[in-house]
Amino acid sequence: TGCAAGVMSVRGDLDGTTLFVRKSDALALENAGGVLKVWSSGLDAPIVVRRTASQELVALSVLCTHKGCHVTPLPESFECPCHGSKFNEDGSVAQGPATRPLRRFAVRETPVSIIMEVAP
Ligand code: FES
């Protein structure tokens, strides 16, 4: 685990197109507002997982849909450092120049794991 820009980062285990993170490695997601960056060598970019105020997990690619910079997670949104696009916490565009939402991955949780489907 490491820490970049205040967001915890953890390596997930990729099995085919399913990405697993142990909850013991994902303590940042225990509470609403928590954010965790998950990466694996099989991914083209890290995934940001957030637990929203309604306790829902949302998993989004960090790749900005404008030109591919990595967006920065903010408390309830994302911001792109390159040209200023802003995205809501569900990945939808809040401010251009980006016009398409961040890529969203299906995510579910079990008592021990957070599991994402990352098929291309
Ligand atoms: Fe994100 Fe241009 S790459 S706004």
Q: Is 19 in the pocket of ligand 1 (CB under 6 A)?
A: no
The residue nearest atom 4 of ligand 1, judged by CA position, is 83
pLDDT at position 20: 97
pLDDT at position 1: 43
pLDDT at position 5: 54
The residue nearest atom 3 of ligand 1, judged by CA position, is 67
pLDDT averaged per 10 residues in sequence order, the chain, 120 residues: 67 95 94 94 93 95 97 95 97 98 97 93
CA distances from 9 to 47, 66, 67, 75, 94 (A): 10, 24, 23, 16, 25
